[in-house]
Structure 1
Amino acid sequence: MSEIERKRSARTRKLARIPLGIAGRAAVGYGKKLAGGDKGEINAQLSAKAADQLFAVLGELKGGAMKFGQALSVMEAAIPDEFAEPYRDALTKLQAEAPPMPTKTVHRVLDQQLGTKWRERFKSFDDTPTASASIGQVHRAVWSDGRDVAVKVQYPGADEALKADLKTLGRFANLMASVMPGTDVKPVLAELNARMEEELDYRIEANNQRAFAKVLDGDPDFAVPKVVASAPKVVVTEWMTGTPLSKVIKHGTVEERNRAGRLFALFAFSSPARVGLLHCDPHPGNFMLLDDGRLGVIDFGACAPMPNGLPPALGRMVRLASEERFDELIDLLQNNNFVLAGKTVTDREIDEYLRPFTDPIKSESFHFTRSWLQKVAGTAADFNSSQFKTARSLNLPPEYLMIFRVLLGGVGIGAQLDAEAEYMKILAEWLPGFNEPEDDDDDRARVLP
């Protein structure tokens, strides 16, 4: 490809190929089954072809299309096994791979963002990208002072593409759900829309990263590269070497997977209190295990300001749910606008609906597995299940949207890692309201818009 496709009509046609292609292949497969073909083999072939198309289309288009695929990749562990493997591989590719933009385009962006003498700021610059993602790609270079650095360059036209894709994907939401059985894509799209402008300005990302790097400098558990330079469409940070979380998921030892799962949860729950920010892009492409055992974190484009930490009401909700104090929990949910006006929910419905969050803290240690997640997510996607009916009565207030995105992402990554850790201990230490006496005056989220 020469440039990111900017025309909305062209991008819409390409995105439409995914659901239409799935429907066409399903019809062909049905015909083959009627003709006596092996059902399992035919289904496997259909899934593999659909997954290849998924990566090809979303990776080629980049923009919102690819960011949508990256967001879905977090929850691939919830896909039933009969569909999972082809999509697992395709979505993993979307975490760090996509067709790169031409060298001349990269140089043009650097001319515009760092000045036409940008080469003087580097001792060397590798024109071949080390990673290509949704709205930008990363190049390795050596800064003028000798430091190894990562240079993230935004694709020209990424802003137009992102906006066009999210609008198109919203129209295709129901059909797109067939690509990822058991996954509700609408909340994913709502979140991407909400954070769009922030992710397009790399100066915001650089400031977020500076805040994390300052607080976590020298931390025994986490590493964040320092920012070297930034502009609206380019950000330069120190280079960090580690094993990507996607490789830990596939090839890591039990010890490595457990450590990664524990550190991911600790990072998510402790950051708001320590940094005043919540890292809101929890897919494996943004995390790595360093040789010294620390969890490396990159890509701070999506962060939610939380100067007072996580809202205490969230901790109380989790505690009440885990202790099955449903009358108090339902009152708290209603007080915080989680239940739609005129709707009611039963104890059993709430209990089943919140299992992805409460199961991990009903014992000192919890083992996240794909089979467990498929069980709790599969019933939630069943139109006849109590979880599905409960979801239609509940509302996710805007101030909690990113929080629940991160929580769900943590659940998905924990299951991908097959990790076991003392999650109860992490929540007890870092989730406000979890161990605190109730205070009705402090029951509402304290999150900046």
Structure 2
Amino acid sequence: MKVGQQMSILEAALPDDVVAPYRETLTKLQDSAPPMPTATVRQILAEDLGADWKQRLVELDPVPAAAASIGQVHRGRWSDGREVAVKVQYPGAGDALLADLRQISRLARSVGTLLPGIDVRPLVEELQERAKDELDYDLEAEAQRTFAEAFRDDPEVVVPDVVDHGARVLVTEWLESTSSLAAVIADGTPDERDHYGELFIRFLFAGPTRTGMLHADPHPGNYRVVPDPEGGPGRLGVLDFGAVARLAEGSLPEEMGRMIRIATRGDADALLAGLREIGFVRPNVRVDPAQMQDYLAPFVEPAAVERFRFTREWMRVQFQRINDPREPGYTLTLKLNLPPSYMLIHRTWLGGIGVMSQLGAEAPFRQILTESLPGFAES
């Protein structure tokens, strides 16, 4: 399910003749999964919140309000009168995910021979550690509390407060929302696409600056449309803080901002030298600077102009350039390394571009990077 949701983010990159029969199925992955029985939910609540959980959670709708990835959500009412969302982890989700990760680890050696530019072992270790984090609802509660506090008075973004939690249960304030970003992708007006697209991309980059963490699961089901009661532009509600990158520098890496700025200036030699220093190109790997400049177009083109219109066609072209064996970018892909500290950053940036392309949104991407990406403005 988690892999399917990540694939649905990149649906914009797939050719129309391939994606047309599957587009509806891919989109459903962003909002649904098979529910677990009510008796199982109540048992987990008792084990994680204590035998007296009913004294605090005084009402619980037995029908899930949403289900996705490794848990499902029920609507309820807390003892102080607040409407709450109760997320309960699927039994066995942890064992199943960790078993998959062990299989990935066993395949790492053979993958390394196919991708000589990548140091696979530390990347797999990082993947395993971050997956374990996603299973820990105590850790998720800590992250969500931090984001809720940082965005408490924000006029554009809403993050629900945490009410209670256990290792497999997370209780948060209920977020009143008419739909998700997936619905805007499917049926939104041009103005709605631009508005919510800009809020979405601003949040992705503002979060690290305010919290020292990156919300690293940018599939549209995690982003909710929150209407303005006075009829103005709506706000963006943000859910699911299980996948969070805790950034060593307390923000996105300054070196990352510098590299993007250098790339927008077209200095291919300086770009390659910088990427070698960071670890994206290992010392023994030969790379053509011009090819590297071209390869980074999905990250650079939106930052090179005042406003950029993301489209499915643009995303499709970028995707083809690095995945078609006939293209130079495909060969370059096999040579490049991904430092473990950049794994979730890369996933989030690429996923964010995918969502913006699905929306067909226009945004002042360059301005957003100037405001929120360290190193970009100073370079």
CA distance in structure 1 between the aligned counterparts of 2:269 and 2:103, rounded to whole angstroms: 41
Is 1:302 aligned with 2:243? yes
Q: Which residue of 1 aligns with 2:22?
A: 87
Q: Which amino acid aligns with 1:258?
A: D
Is 1:319 aligned with 2:255? no
Equivalent position to 1:416, from 333, 358, 364? 358
Q: CA deviation at 1:418?
A: 0.6
Equivalent position to 1:104, from 39, 60, 65? 39
1:41-60 superposed matches below 5 A: none
For residues 246 and 169 of structure 1, do their structure 2 counterparts lie closer, same or farther at Cα, with a shift above 3 Å needed?
Answer: farther
Is 1:114 aligned with 2:55? no
CA distance in structure 2 between the aligned counterparts of 1:330 and 1:111, rounded to whole angstroms: 55
TM-score (norm 2): 0.91
SS at match of 1:235: strand
| Superposed CA offset, 1:261-296 (max 9, x none) | 111111111111111111111111110121022111
Equivalent position to 1:366, from 308, 314, 333? 308
CA distance in structure 2 between the aligned counterparts of 1:415 and 1:189, rounded to whole angstroms: 29
Aligned length: 359
For residues 93 and 266 of structure 1, do their structure 2 counterparts lie closer, same or farther at Cα, with a shift above 3 Å needed?
Answer: same
Q: Which residue of 1 aligns with 2:192?
A: 256
Equivalent position to 1:199, from 111, 116, 134? 134
How high is the sequence identity, in percent, across the aligned residues? 48
**Is the contact made by 2:211 and 2:250 (CA closer than 8 Å) also made in structure 1?**
no
CA distance in structure 1 between the aligned counterparts of 2:251 and 2:23, rounded to whole angstroms: 34
Q: Which amino acid aligns with 1:82?
A: D
Equivalent position to 2:92, from 152, 157, 167? 157
SS at match of 2:245: strand
Q: Which residue of 2 aligns with 1:376?
A: 318
SS at match of 2:80: coil
CA distance in structure 2 between the aligned counterparts of 1:169 and 1:311, rounded to whole angstroms: 28
Q: Which amino acid aligns with 1:318?
A: I
| Superposed CA offset, 1:345-373 (max 9, x none) | 22331122101111112211111000111
Q: Which residue of 2 aligns with 1:40?
A: none
SS at match of 1:392: helix
Q: CA deviation at 1:101?
A: 0.6
**Is the contact made by 2:213 and 2:250 (CA closer than 8 Å) also made in structure 1?**
no
CA distance in structure 2 between the aligned counterparts of 1:387 and 1:249, rounded to whole angstroms: 29
**Is the contact made by 1:223 and 1:295 (CA closer than 8 Å) also made in structure 2?**
yes
**Is the contact made by 2:5 and 2:219 (CA closer than 8 Å) also made in structure 1?**
yes
Aligned-residue CA RMSD (Å): 1.9
Q: Which amino acid aligns with 1:387?
A: G
Q: Which residue of 1 aligns with 2:72?
A: 137
Q: Which amino acid aligns with 2:131?
A: M
Is 1:278 aligned with 2:214? yes
Equivalent position to 2:273, from 331, 345, 359? 331
Q: Which residue of 1 aligns with 2:170?
A: 235
For residues 251 and 436 of structure 1, do their structure 2 counterparts lie closer, same or farther at Cα, with a shift above 3 Å needed?
Answer: same
SS at match of 1:363: coil
**Is the contact made by 1:147 and 1:238 (CA closer than 8 Å) also made in structure 2?**
yes
CA distance in structure 2 between the aligned counterparts of 1:190 and 1:246, rounded to whole angstroms: 32
Q: Which structure has more RCO (C-alpha within 8 Å, separation ≥ 6)?
A: 2
CA distance in structure 2 between the aligned counterparts of 1:326 and 1:403, rounded to whole angstroms: 22
Structure 2 stretches of 5 or more lacking a match?
Answer: 109-122, 229-233
Q: Which residue of 2 aligns with 1:289?
A: 225
